[in-house]
Amino acid sequence: MSFLARLALASALNRRWTLGLTLAAVALSVALLLGVERLREGARTGFVQSVSGTDLIVGPRTGGVQLLLYSVFRIGNATNNISWVSAQVLGQHPAVAWTIPVSLGDTHRSFPVLGTTEAYFTHFRHGDQRALSLAQGRPFAGLFEVVLGSEVARALGYQLGQGITLSHGASELSLAAEALTQAAEHGDKPFTVVGILAPTGTPVDRTLHVTLESMSALHLDWQGGAPLPGLKIPAEFVRKFDLAPKDVNAVLVGLKNRSDVFRMQRFVNEFRGEPLLGILPGVTLDELWGLLAVAERALKAISALVVAVGLAGLVAVVLAGLNERRRELAILRSVGARPGDIFALLMVEGVLVIGLGVVLGVVLLAAVFTAVTPWAQTQFGLALGGTMGGTLPAAAEWPLIAAVFAAGTLASAVPAWRAYRLSLADGLTPRV
């Protein structure tokens, strides 16, 4: 270590409490900057991976974003449906490996109800190609059996074997309003909870899952969104009717060979049976995320401001301490130190504080994210970044670290330049 570095270290140790607070501020600023960036990237990754392994989503001819919102995120309503015959034709196409029909419309205490088939539990993927798993129970196997998402079970306190009833529509009603709307409730056809899914951090957690036949059974004595006057078919008699669905809202499609995706999309968009639309989930998710770019920029701006405040604190502390150090610097000048040496001394001190602050910030971030990553992944679907389990910064974070270090170095030049201009006479002459 050079003499100048040893001198800078000794001077910093002599002012360790003041510089320690500055060091903590820089470390917290760096940790917050990298943490916000990692959360932003994790939120984007989790958002994009709300559905994975699905090559196409097929629905009625409408907007691609709208189709994605109601089929994956359960947001909004379908303007039209596709016939069950068309859904079966899609499933029989030579390029198709599997299909998952999706039927929405009913709710339970503001949570959406999804009608589907057993293929949903076999083929649906989320995150990094993770399959659905059951925390308790089993998938549905017949009429009036329901599998709950983890958030539904947690929020409502439901257990296996519990009986519940579904409501027709009313997805935007509050709980109080829904309780008053008895006419919309399928109270004569209760369901039994047979399974509870493990947390996924996706809309699956807020969804109740039933069979398509169950959805048909619920609406045997309904027409046009309202119960038929004077007609009530008890639950024990519904099996005597044809419960095959007449239509569904959308179909998730997995292909045998992903290279066939554009050919299959063209087949769907030119389908002669009825007007259909096929979208690529990844492309449409990117388009949807682009609409949220303002929030991304706001997060970046907030974290940059925090770093700026931390660096401003460093400059303020060093500048405030210059008046106390004038005699020290003057003595150094008197024993032969040149103005350039004084400049270099303060620059070295500033770089040491910035360097240690960056290192401590990275270590702090690694400790926090190592602890919370498994919980964030299961509860919120956040695929938090970093390498080696989040203990090291990801490739995209290194430029941010370099930028903070460079900005800190430039900030250190302000008090160093001020000290450079202090004259020997100014340091030795007492002020009146």
pLDDT at 421 over 60: yes
More confident position, 150 or 22: 150
CB count within 10 Å of CB 141 equals 10
Q: How far apart are CA 136 and CA 155, in angstroms?
A: 16
Cβ atoms of 202 and 126 within 8 Å: the answer is yes
Residue 389: CB atoms within 10 Å: 12
Average pLDDT value over all residues in the chain:
81
- In DSSP terms, which residues pair with 168 in a beta bridge? 106
pLDDT at 178: 44
DSSP assigned state of 348: H
Which tens digits make up the pLDDT trace of 293-343?
Answer: 777 778 778 777 877 877 777 677 666 666 666 667 776 766 677 777 778
Q: What are the tokens at 86?
A: 């068309």
82 pLDDT more than 90: yes
**Residue 423 pLDDT > 80:** no
252 versus 19: the higher-pLDDT residue is: 252
pLDDT digits (tens, 9 = 90+) for 83-128: 999 999 999 999 999 999 999 988 898 899 999 999 999 999 987 7
- What is the per-residue pLDDT for 280? 94
The answer to whether 112 touches 207, Cβ cutoff 8 Å, is: yes
**Span 216-232, mean pLDDT?**
73
- Reported as a pLDDT band with limits 50, 70 and 90, residue 391 is low
Query: Could you tell me where the DSSP H helices lie in 108-149?
Result: 119-123
Token pair 């008895």 in the structure block, residue = 182
pLDDT in tens, 128-187: 788 999 999 999 998 999 999 999 999 999 999 999 999 876 544 444 444 444 546 777
At 432 the pLDDT is 46
* Segments making up each domain of the chain, as ranges: 3-47+293-428, 51-290
As a whole number of angstroms, the distance between CA 86 and CA 101 comes to 11
Span 261-281, average pLDDT: 93
* DSSP state at residue 292: T
Instruction: Tell me the sheet residues that pair with 196.
Output: 136, 148
pTM: 0.72
Tell me the pLDDT band of 277, cut-offs 50, 70 and 90.
very high
Cβ within 8 Å of residue 201, ≥6 positions away: 46, 126, 127, 376, 377, 378, 379, 380, 381, 382
